[in-house]
Amino acid sequence: MAAKLVALVREAAAGARAIARAYPEGCSAAALPWAVVERFDADVRGHVERDPRIEDGRDQVLIAAVTLAEAGGEEEDVPERERLVKAINDLEWVTLSRGIANRAAAALGYGEAGVRLRDAG
């Protein structure tokens, strides 16, 4: 059962959304893109089979984070912040709907390799 991995995906997304909503508090503009994907990369990315849709979703999060970091004042960045939160939501969705636990996940007790996350959550 990959329920633990599903929980990690949800926790990583929730953490990324919290960072996005709090920005510029908590991290610098240069650190923002990596801060929002840090938990995903550490807890999820190495535990699901590589899938171009998941990688594209992660890239979209990075692009949206850079755009927010480069935005001007507080009023200007509202649309960019919303785009970043949407990109995080999309990454969470694609990972949960398309992700497949890999051998590394199985070794950590996150479920059997080959189990689809959508079937576990």
Q: Could you report the per-residue pLDDT of 21-78, keeping only the tens digit for each?
A: 999 888 899 999 999 999 999 999 999 999 999 999 999 999 999 999 998 656 655 7
Please give the Cα distance from 110 to 47 (Å, whole number).
9
How many other CB atoms are found less than 10 A from the CB of residue 61?
26
Q: Dihedral, CA atoms, 30, 8, 17, 92, nearest 10 degrees?
A: 100
Greatest Cα-to-Cα distance within the chain, rounded to the nearest angstrom: 47
Q: Where are the domains of the chain?
A: 3-120
* pLDDT given at position 74: 63
Residue 108 has pLDDT above 80, yes or no: yes
